[in-house]
Amino acid sequence: MTRLMLGRTLERICKGVLLLCLLHFLIMMILYFDVYSQRFDLFSRFNNGRNGSRTNVSGAAGSGHHYYYYNLSRPNATLASYLATGEQLVPSVQPETNQTPSPKPLPPCPENPPGLVGRLLIEFSSQMTMERVQRENPNVTDGGRYTPPDCRPRWKVAIIIPFRHRENHLKYWLHYLHPILRRQRIDYGIYIINQLGEETFNRAKLLNVGYTETLKDAEYDCFIFSDVDLIPMDDRNLYHCYDQPRHFAIAMDKFGFRLPYAGYFGGVSGLSKKQFLKINGFPNEYWGWGGEDDDIYNRITLNGMKVSRPDVRIGRYRMIKHERDKHNEPNPQRFNKIQNTKNTMKKDGISSLTYRLVQVKRYPLYTDISVEIGKPPPRPIKG
């Protein structure tokens, strides 16, 4: 009898301990789920519905739907503490999942574009028309602008051509240069600086005008100055700027594909914006043919820079043969002026440029900028 009573007592004690353990377990679970109620989404009353459902609220001004959820996951906080302090449940914005992804940035254009051909056959015997050139270059936009669609060029290049009465030469220049520049992955625009009237031609002043006017059209940082009758014979002669002022046309056919002399800087050259301003641009007082390119070379060297050139096998050019233009006779004062570059370059240049803009007209393959630049001062009478 005593054993039976002892057994029942032990059985009751075990059941009581088991019940206490179970109660303790339930209390711990309740506290656990209370603290992490948002994470486990059990308290749908405060978490906008069971099983992760959230309130759908329309955005303002037709901006679509935005989803909100209440943030109860502050460390060491429980639901009771929020209610006791009277804090408001602040909605947090859930990122939308249906937004259009932003396009990936384009990679830099390669220094050596893979589509280059190399040596080119240049000839001027076939008939050339603007309509043909336009058909050949459908990706060139109005004003003669082009930007590579698949890469990001380092330079934004303005190609500036001093011009008067050379319409036939311009057709050939555009025919050859547009495809070359596109293969070189150049971001460029082509600008014809047309000197109106029949006064003496002034190449360097027109180039200063081109620099000034092209900057009104776009934020160019590189400027290539080219005569309209010079065509490169190799597309590896890249038309962009370099660490030093660049002379591109170093081996013309009219000079036997040789550099005529060490200080020659004529035909086709290029300067960055910083380099151009450092030499105060080009001289404005060289009226007629010759001398201005030597003055520019002097400006470069006097300002501590050096002329860079391509390999002679790459810097070859063909010139379109023609008679000397009227009102572009050799300048008899050019030799005296060249000797005085050091004294004149600070006061004669882009800082002293004057002209009258008459018209800017955009054609499919180039931009025409027509200007009046005045006339040369009277020459001193020989006594």
Point out the catalytic residue in the list 164, 178, 182, 229: 229
List the one residue out of 214, 209, 218 whose CA is nearest residue 356: 209
199: annotated active-site residue: no
Point out the catalytic residue in the list 178, 319, 334, 345: 319
Question: CA torsion, points 293, 376, 367, 182, in degrees to nearest 10?
Answer: -10
155: annotated active-site residue: no
Which residues contact residue 177 at a Cβ distance below 8 angstroms, ignoring those fewer than 6 apart? 159, 190, 231, 232
Query: Which tokens belong to 82?
Result: 């929020």
* Distance between first and last Cα of the chain: 157
329: annotated active-site residue: no
227: annotated active-site residue: yes
258: annotated active-site residue: no
289: annotated active-site residue: yes
CA distance 257 to 243: 25
Contact 167, 138 (CB under 8 A): no
- Amino acid 307 reads V
CA distance 195 to 268: 19
Residue 109 CA to chain centroid, in angstroms? 11
Point out the catalytic residue in the list 155, 175, 203, 227: 227
293: annotated active-site residue: yes
Point out the catalytic residue in the list 217, 289, 305, 327: 289
Point out the catalytic residue in the list 235, 285, 292, 295: 292
Point out the catalytic residue in the list 293, 294, 295, 348: 293
Point out the catalytic residue in the list 45, 65, 74, 322: 322
327: annotated active-site residue: no
Largest CA-CA distance found in the chain, in angstroms, rounded: 157
Which residues are known to be catalytic?
227, 229, 289, 292-293, 319, 322, 324
